[in-house]
């Protein structure tokens, strides 16, 4: 995606139908051939790109790779090579070719690794992320043996955030290609996603059951509930009173998470605390039945260390880092 005339646009949408010239095999472009105004822009980009070549998460790369990136992104030729005036035409042609055959890759094993953590921010971020996921699911359908795998701890650079997952998918694809998958369960993208989601919900269920005890409070006057991305958010006057008086914090709590149920004072509180509470949801999915005991132990440990039962709690510190 890129901004064109102030609007976020896919490169393929910039296509005009112009013919794409053949690949040049002689007389390559030389730096001296670049017009002065364009060269000035590329030199500015090189001066900016070199010092930031290994900003996170690329700081996880081996030292040699980091040195290579620093050198490459300091070169004008790097930015000259990235300037492709026919990119929109090429991408549009690729999309058109892809739709001519239902599964053009046949039985070639295909794994589509998808980031689990969105990169986008802003009011339309979720819509763009949903669209991105749909496109990745469609890619997994290019092969009859296509699979869709979500890298739940990764943003865009899955190979840096979860290299073991990338290697594992590669080995599985190679084994399937060579017919050595006997005894292994192969799931397509949708099946794998449903299975992983089911495991997370079941593992967090003991915490969710505790939250279910307070769900009927949402049926009282001025109460309410809504399902947001697989998490039930509940609010109402009685829940607000419990959070205000029963939670041992000055002024009480705005919201609290129990498994896949989030209890809030009101709808506004649930909106404000959503990012924070979603971290607690993930913690419940990881710790399962041990979450509540582990949370209490973490509070006690923080209290005796003088950092505060709430502010020093490991789980709260982790969630607070997600606050906007």
pLDDT digits over 147-163, tens only?
Answer: 888 888 888 899 999 89
Owning domain of residue 261: 199-320
In a domain, residue 161? The reply is: yes
Asked whether residue 203 falls in the same domain as residue 159, the answer is no
Asked whether residue 207 falls in the same domain as residue 306, the answer is yes
User: Helix, strand, or coil here: 223?
Assistant: coil
Asked whether residue 105 falls in the same domain as residue 83, the answer is no
Estimate the crossing angle of helix 189-212 against helix 125-140, to 10 degrees. Answer: 140
Whole-number Å distance between alpha carbons of 76 and 78: 5
In a domain, residue 106? The reply is: yes
In a domain, residue 96? The reply is: no
Domain count, the chain: 3
Asked whether residue 241 falls in the same domain as residue 310, the answer is yes
In a domain, residue 27? The reply is: no
In a domain, residue 21? The reply is: no
Asked whether residue 114 falls in the same domain as residue 71, the answer is no
Asked whether residue 215 falls in the same domain as residue 152, the answer is no
In a domain, residue 24? The reply is: no
Task: Select from 104, 175, 181 the least CA-distant residue to 144.
Answer: 104
- In this prediction, residue 32 carries a pLDDT of 83
In a domain, residue 22? The reply is: no
Query: Of 186, 221, 256, which residue is a domain's last?
Result: 186
pLDDT digits over 166-184, tens only?
Answer: 888 888 777 666 655 444 4
Whole-number Å distance between alpha carbons of 186 and 27: 49
Rg value, the chain, Cα = 25
Cis preceding-peptide flag for 59 (omega within 30 of 0): no
- In this prediction, residue 179 carries a pLDDT of 56
In a domain, residue 50? The reply is: yes
Asked whether residue 67 falls in the same domain as residue 173, the answer is no
Q: How does pLDDT run along the chain (324 residues), one tens digit per residue?
A: 565 566 667 766 778 888 888 887 888 778 888 889 988 999 999 999 999 999 998 999 999 999 999 999 999 988 888 878 888 888 888 878 777 777 888 888 888 888 888 777 766 777 777 777 788 888 888 888 888 888 888 888 999 998 988 888 888 777 666 655 444 444 555 666 778 888 999 999 999 999 999 999 888 888 899 999 889 999 999 999 999 998 888 889 999 999 999 999 999 999 999 999 999 999 999 999 999 999 999 999 999 999 999 999 999 998 887 655
- In this prediction, residue 182 carries a pLDDT of 45
Asked whether residue 137 falls in the same domain as residue 70, the answer is no
Whole-number Å distance between alpha carbons of 180 and 174: 8
Contact 141, 98 (CB under 8 A): no
- In this prediction, residue 276 carries a pLDDT of 92
Contact 277, 316 (CB under 8 A): no
User: Helix, strand, or coil here: 228?
Assistant: strand
């Amino acid at each position: 995606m890129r901004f064109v005339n102030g609007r976020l646009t896919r490169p393929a949408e910039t296509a005009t139908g112009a013919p794409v010239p053949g690949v040049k095999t002689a007389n390559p472009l030389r730096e001296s051939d670049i017009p002065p105004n364009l060269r000035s822009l590329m030199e500015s980009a090189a001066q900016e790109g070199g010092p930031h070549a290994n900003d996170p998460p690329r700081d996880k790369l081996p030292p040699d790779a980091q040195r290579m990136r620093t050198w490459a992104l300091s070169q004008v030729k790097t930015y000259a090579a990235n300037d492709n005036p026919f990119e929109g035409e090429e991408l549009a042609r690729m999309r058109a070719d892809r739709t001519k055959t239902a599964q053009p890759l046949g039985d070639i094993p295909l794994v589509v690794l998808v980031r689990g953590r969105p990169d986008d921010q802003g009011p339309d971020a979720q819509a763009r992320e949903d669209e991105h996921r749909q496109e990745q699911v469609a890619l997994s359908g290019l092969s009859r043996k296509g699979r869709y795998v979500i890298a739940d701890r990764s943003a865009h650079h899955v190979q840096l955030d979860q290299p073991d997952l990338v290697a594992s998918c590669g080995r599985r694809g190679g084994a399937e290609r060579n017919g050595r998958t006997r005894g292994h369960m192969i799931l397509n993208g949708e099946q794998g996603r449903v299975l992983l989601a089911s495991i997370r919900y079941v593992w967090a269920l003991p915490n969710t059951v505790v939250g279910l005890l307070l769900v009927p409070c949402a049926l009282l006057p001025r109460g309410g509930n809504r399902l947001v991305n697989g998490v039930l958010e509940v609010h109402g006057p009685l829940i607000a009173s419990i959070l205000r008086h029963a939670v041992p914090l000055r002024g009480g709590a705005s919201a609290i998470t129990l498994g896949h149920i989030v209890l809030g004072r009101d709808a506004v509180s649930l909106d404000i605390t959503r990012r924070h509470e979603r971290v607690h949801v993930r913690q419940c999915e990881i710790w399962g039945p041990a979450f509540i005991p582990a949370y209490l132990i973490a509070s006690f440990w923080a209290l005796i260390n003088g950092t505060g039962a709430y502010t020093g709690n490991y789980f709260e510190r982790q969630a607070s880092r997600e606050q906007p």
